[in-house]
Amino acid sequence: MLKDITIGQYLPGESFIHKLDPRTKIIISLMFIISLFIVNKFIGYIIVVGFLAAIIINAKVPLSFILKGLKPIFILILITGGLNIFMTKGTEDTLIFQFGFINVYDEGLRIAAFMTLRLVFLIIGTSLLTLTTSPIELTDGIERLLRPIGKELAHELAMMMTIALRFIPTLTEETDKIMKAQQARGADFETGNIIKRAKSLIPILVPLFISSFRRADELAMAMEARCYKGAIGRTRMKELKYSFRDIIAYGIFSIMFISSLLVKFAI
């Protein structure tokens, strides 16, 4: 399960998507998230699926890799869908199923489907951002976009966010190693009630915290050894520059975004 987490991982490539300016990909990702909550009809999600499919095909990201990233949130998807189905109230005309105090309305099924699709597309979209953008490019892109709030503050925020994102796969891999080591010593994480299973996680959390602090200390020492002083006097080997392919990307996304608005207000 831990190995199925794809957010924070990067797959090198030479595709059109990989070569886009990181600022372009970050802005499009943010607008894509907004578009997910604008769409309120199933036909609108056909446009979203087509947009994501085009990115996946162009970036040459294996579909199995994308689907694998949805496994860790499968329980969250079920909980989200179930809560919306059973907690949403409707009218007597839209009542579909009734058993005791459990009532299922057409509105509940509709909202549950929308929330499930939004959650799935949200994970896929954010995963594609990190899968096609290296950590260094992501840091530079976030820093440039946050430049209006101050050069030094923008650099610090971008560095913190990127380090946190980059260490997600590292910590999941470390957790998996610790769990296997504890299981080899006879630890049981699968049986028992919730309280017992929660207590069994203590042998994992303690070494994980120790390992995290050790990695943080090693990273700090490495940055100091390289005379890292934040944004002060910092230069880049490759300066970010918009190209014609970024204009094309903005144009394609604008078509998708406008189509979503038309589906919402015109159909």
Residue 60 belongs to some domain of the structure: yes
> Over 80: is that where the pLDDT of 135 sits?
no
CB atoms within 10 A of CB 174: 18
When pLDDT is averaged across residues 128-143 and rounded to a whole number, the result is 83
Determine the pLDDT at residue 25: 92
Determine the pLDDT at residue 242: 85
Residue 256 belongs to some domain of the structure: yes
> Over 70: is that where the pLDDT of 7 sits?
no
**Bridge partners of residue 196, in order along the sequence:** none
Q: Give residue-wise pLDDT tens across range 92-113.
A: 666 676 666 677 777 777 888 8
3-state secondary structure at position 14: coil
How long is the chain?
Answer: 267
Grade residue 88 by pLDDT with cuts at 50, 70 and 90.
Answer: confident
Structural domains in the chain (count): 1
CB atoms within 10 A of CB 133: 22
Helix axes 22-38, 244-265, angle to 10 degrees: 0
Q: What is the pTM of this model?
A: 0.73
From CA 259, how far away is CA 134, in angstroms rounded?
30
Cα 14–Cα 20–Cα 21 angle in degrees, nearest 5 = 130
Residue 260 belongs to some domain of the structure: yes
**Straight-line distance from the first to the last Cα atom of the chain, in angstroms, rounded to the nearest whole number:** 41
Residue 208 belongs to some domain of the structure: no
Determine the pLDDT at residue 248: 92
**Torsion 137-142-145-150 (CA) sign:** negative
Among 8, 28, 9, 10, which residue's Cα sits nearest to residue 20?
28
Q: Give residue-wise pLDDT tens across range 190-237.
A: 666 667 766 777 777 888 888 888 888 888 888 778 777 766 666 666
**Cβ partners under 8 Å of residue 17, min gap 6:** 25, 55, 58, 59, 128, 132
Residue 184 belongs to some domain of the structure: no
Residue 176 belongs to some domain of the structure: no
Residue 97 belongs to some domain of the structure: yes
Residues 138 and 130 sit within 8 Å (Cβ to Cβ): yes
Residue 37 belongs to some domain of the structure: yes
Kindly provide the b/e burial profile for residues 181-212, where b requires at least 16 CB atoms within 10 angstroms of the residue's own CB.
Answer: ebeeeeeeeeeeeeeeeeebeebbeeebeebe
Among 121, 123, 119, which residue's Cα sits nearest to residue 131?
123
Determine the pLDDT at residue 28: 92
What mean pLDDT is reported for the chain?
Answer: 79
From CA 87, how far away is CA 108, in angstroms rounded?
7
Question: Which residues constitute the domain of residue 73?
Answer: 2-166+237-265
Residues 210 and 204 sit within 8 Å (Cβ to Cβ): no
**Cβ partners under 8 Å of residue 15, min gap 6:** 58, 59, 60, 132
